[in-house]
Amino acid sequence: MTPNPYLFAPLLLASLAIFARACWKRLSLISLGQPEERFDNIGARFSDMLLYAFGQKRVLAKPFGFNHFIIFWSFLILMIANTEFILNGLFPRSIKLIMLPFELYVPLAFMIDIASLLALTAVTVAAVRRLFAPPYPEARTPEAFFILSLIAILMLASFALNATELAAYMLKSGADPVSFLSEARKIMPVSSYVAGMLPSLQLGTIHAVAWWAHALALMAFICYLPNSKHMHILTAIPNCFLHRLEKPNTQPREDFAIGNTFGVDRVDRYSWKDLLDSFSCTECGRCQKVCPASITGKPLNPRAVIHDIKVNLLENGTALKKGAAPQTPLIGENGEGSVSEESIWGCTTCGACMEACPVFIEQMPKIIELRRHLVESEAKFPEELLNLFENMEGRSNPWGIAPSERTKWCSQLDVKPFDKDTTEYLFYVGCAGSFDSRAKHVSVALTQLLDKAGISWGILGKEEKCCGDSVRRLGNEYVFDKMAKENVATFIERGVTKVITQCPHCFTTLKNDYRQYGLELEVIHHSELLRNLVRDGRLSIDKTTEEMGATVFHDSCYLGRHNDIYEAPREVIAAATGAAPAEMERNRSNAFCCGAGGGRMWMEEHVGERINITRVKEALEQKPDTICVACPYCMTMFEDGLKDVKADNVRVRDVAEIMAEAILR
């Protein structure tokens, strides 16, 4: 009954060699990437790895995640059984789990038996799901069914193996089958059940067949694993360990020196971690199911971007290692292995993909690197952006309005200039708040509330410049760098330390991006400030406003997902109206973008349904009278969307306007 080790050993060695070679190849490909520090704060990394890799926290966020959880943990448990299997195959009868002390053996054998059953069930569920309701149509691949079948064969074979061994032991010891099996059932419930069904005469044959089926399936798995998307079994755990501990809400600076390259147009210009990301993706499709571009029918698909980076690396790897030029271009319309320009420009940088990814793949920064190459090295971008870039550089606002008009919004108001000795906060009005006729109302409402609460604040007036958010997300890092340096110099010179913003884009740029320029500001978004003022009693609401009717709140991506501010605006609305706003189906970290982030505010949307229309329809499902926002871009997108769907009876209000309605009217 014992398999022949002289046959098994060379086969195993061969499959391990194939495994090692494939792993080595991929590791050497990853090492083509640029250096990046990902080994700081080991403690936090370790605990995140436990939570997200072993605890499967993000995997479990979706219903089928539980199925994966089962497979993952069964896998870990069954590694013990498989080690035993391999050792036993190489050195027959040398090492068996049963040699362990009985008190240890019993729970271990029980766990292995149950884990095998759970794994078998889970892969069956996975196969059925892929057949009838795949996460996305392309997920129904032969590759997926192949790997699921291999796992199923491993489980079935291990039941047969254990069962034949049990039956053989029973026959040899001459024990009473009924009492033996009922005892065995307490240790290995499934295998003993199978043992009871086995014909005693063919035990040897069944054992041999099961053993070799198990051995071949195991070796096939070992060979196939690193060559497929199932590589994630090896890379996902380190990927969770190596993920960016701070939110990936900003992009790294570039060094503008002659001879440098800017952005990424070939795969080896990505960092090694970017390349590791591509091997960690198992193509679960969760990113594409939350991506506003993918959902509304645009060519961008974050899963495909990561897949294309991997394919490109595999195709160009050999050439790149020799220092030769890559054959498959990273940017272009070449199908698999290349990312199309239309995809690159489709990203709203909403961050939903990164929030959804169970293994912390960072899709957005990779897309921005591609934009950087297109803008900075090729000056190639959608034509709407030419005016934007020139306006930003020449007049420091997206519309190209004369900078002298920046203070027009407050010409009728008594607004003080910021002075570090007499004013506490700088109110950084922002371009929308200064120039956009709708957003100006928000600026006015906010300043009235600040005065009412006795806040000491001032503005930079004509000295205020655009924060540069749009140009940075659009990949025009050169212009952003100039704008950021100018602003940082102004803030330092004027002694600014505390800033109020009414725009989440200014908020994140001043707070997170300018930190790269050595400026640590205490930046507060107006929704947080208003919430605090209500809490502290500095703004008191005698009578809540009924003007707003039924409200629903829309999370701005750069307030919510990128900066974790979810409750403050809701609390402001609740305080002002006396009732918490209704929630859309997708809210908070799962909220759907308005379509304006990442510089998309300044671009046309030609393909598919417009993102803002999609979101407006979702908001209207809650039958609101007022859609509440906390961002001037969201405001524009909703107002435009409401006009397009002819929902004239619904209005859009910023949280400051709602608060002002309750307090000042």
Partner 1 sequence: MLIVVCIKQVPDTTQVQIDPVTNTLVRDGIPFIVNPYDTHALEEALRLKDRFGCKVAAISMGPPNAEGTLKKALALGVDYAVLLSDRVFGGADTLATSNVLAAAITKLHTEVDEVALVLCGKQTIDGDTAQVGPGIASRLNYQQLTLVDKIINLDFSAQKIRVSRKLEGRHEIVDAPLPAMLTVVRELNRPRYPKVQMRLAAVESVVDVWNNKTLQLDEQKIGLKGSPTWVSKIFSPERDKGEIIGDGYADPTGTAALLIEKLMAKDMLPL
CB of 463 to partner 1, least distance (A): 11
Residues 424-443 within binding reach of partner 1 (CB under 8 A) = 437, 441
Residues 112-171 within binding reach of partner 1 (CB under 8 A) = none
Which CB sits closer to partner 1, 238 or 403? 403
CB of 594 to partner 1, least distance (A): 21
Q: C-alpha distances in angstroms, 363 versus 12, 302, 605?
A: 37, 6, 21
Instruction: Select the span of 193-201, 229-237, 385-393, 558-566 touching partner 1 (CB under 8 A).
Output: 385-393
Residue 300 is given by DSSP the state -
The binding track of 216-255 with respect to partner 1, each residue x by CB under 8 A or -, is ----------------------------------------
CB of 401 to partner 1, least distance (A): 8
CB of 383 to partner 1, least distance (A): 7
Q: Which position among 324, 402, 579, 664 is part of the footprint of partner 1 (CB under 8 A)?
A: 402
Q: Are 191 and 180 in contact (CB under 8 A)?
A: no
Based on the shown chain and the rule CB under 8 A, indicate whether residue 604 belongs to the binding site for partner 1.
Answer: no
Which CB sits closer to partner 1, 184 or 392? 392
CB of 403 to partner 1, least distance (A): 7
Instruction: Walk across the sheet containing 522-525 and list its strands.
Output: 457-458, 425-428, 498-501, 522-525
Which CB sits closer to partner 1, 259 or 537? 259
User: How far does Cα 133 stand from its chain's mean position?
Assistant: 23
CB of 379 to partner 1, least distance (A): 4
Instruction: Select the span of 377-385, 464-472, 532-540, 623-631 touching partner 1 (CB under 8 A).
Output: 377-385
Q: Which residues contact 630 (CB under 8 A, 6 or more apart)?
A: 504, 525, 526, 527, 556, 559, 569, 654, 655
CB of 522 to partner 1, least distance (A): 31
Q: Which position among 8, 72, 270, 389 is part of the footprint of partner 1 (CB under 8 A)?
A: 389
Work out the widest C-alpha separation in the chain, in whole angstroms: 102
Q: Residue 630: which of 605, 594, 663, 603 has the closest Cα?
A: 594
Residue type (1 letter), 211: W
CB of 474 to partner 1, least distance (A): 12
Instruction: Select the span of 144-152, 239-247, 394-402, 634-642 touching partner 1 (CB under 8 A).
Output: 394-402
A 10 A CB-CB count for 607 gives 14
Tokens 């939903």 correspond to 352
Q: Which position among 17, 44, 131, 386 is part of the footprint of partner 1 (CB under 8 A)?
A: 386
Which CB sits closer to partner 1, 91 or 256? 256
Angstrom distance (rounded) from CA 293 to CA 600: 11
Q: Which position among 8, 211, 221, 381 is part of the footprint of partner 1 (CB under 8 A)?
A: 381
Q: Which position among 383, 414, 520, 536 is part of the footprint of partner 1 (CB under 8 A)?
A: 383
CB of 377 to partner 1, least distance (A): 6
Q: Which residues contact 231 (CB under 8 A, 6 or more apart)?
A: 26, 225, 279, 280
Q: C-alpha distances in angstroms, 567 versus 379, 574, 661?
A: 41, 10, 20
User: How far does Cα 341 stand from its chain's mean position?
Assistant: 22
Number of residues that bind partner 1 (CB under 8 A): 23
The binding track of 476-515 with respect to partner 1, each residue x by CB under 8 A or -, is --x-------------------------------------
CA count, 13 A, side-chain hemisphere, 6:
0
Angstrom distance (rounded) from CA 291 to CA 190: 43
Q: What number of residues does the chain have?
A: 665
CB of 625 to partner 1, least distance (A): 16
Instruction: Select the span of 38-46, 123-131, 402-410, 522-530 touching partner 1 (CB under 8 A).
Output: 402-410
Q: Which helix (H) or strand (E) holds 420?
A: none
End-to-end Cα distance, the chain: 90
CB of 257 to partner 1, least distance (A): 7
Instruction: Select the span of 13-21, 381-389, 500-508, 609-617 touching partner 1 (CB under 8 A).
Output: 381-389
Q: Are 416 and 423 in contact (CB under 8 A)?
A: yes
Instruction: Select the span of 400-408, 464-472, 570-578, 605-613 touching partner 1 (CB under 8 A).
Output: 400-408
Long-range contacts of 13-20 (CB under 8 A, 24+ apart): 15/219, 15/220, 15/222, 15/223, 16/222, 18/222, 18/223, 19/222, 19/223, 19/225, 19/226
Q: Which token pair is 585?
A: 């189906």
Which CB sits closer to partner 1, 386 or 413? 386
CB of 652 to partner 1, least distance (A): 13
Q: Which helix (H) or strand (E) holds 73?
A: helix 65-90
CB of 221 to partner 1, least distance (A): 48
Q: Which position among 113, 369, 376, 528 is part of the footprint of partner 1 (CB under 8 A)?
A: 376
Based on the shown chain and the rule CB under 8 A, indicate whether residue 257 belongs to the binding site for partner 1.
Answer: yes
Based on the shown chain and the rule CB under 8 A, indicate whether residue 649 belongs to the binding site for partner 1.
Answer: no
Which CB sits closer to partner 1, 111 or 401? 401
Which CB sits closer to partner 1, 139 or 401? 401
Q: Burial of 493 by CB count in 10 Å (0-12 exposed, 13-18 middle, 19+ buried)? A: exposed
Q: Which residues contact 128 (CB under 8 A, 6 or more apart)?
A: none
Rounded to 5 degrees, what are φ and ψ at 451? -65, -45
Provide the β-strand partners of residue 499.
Answer: 426, 523
Instruction: Summarize as ranges the residues that interact with partner 1 (CB under 8 A).
Output: 256-258, 262, 375-379, 381, 383, 386, 389-390, 394-395, 401-404, 437, 441, 478
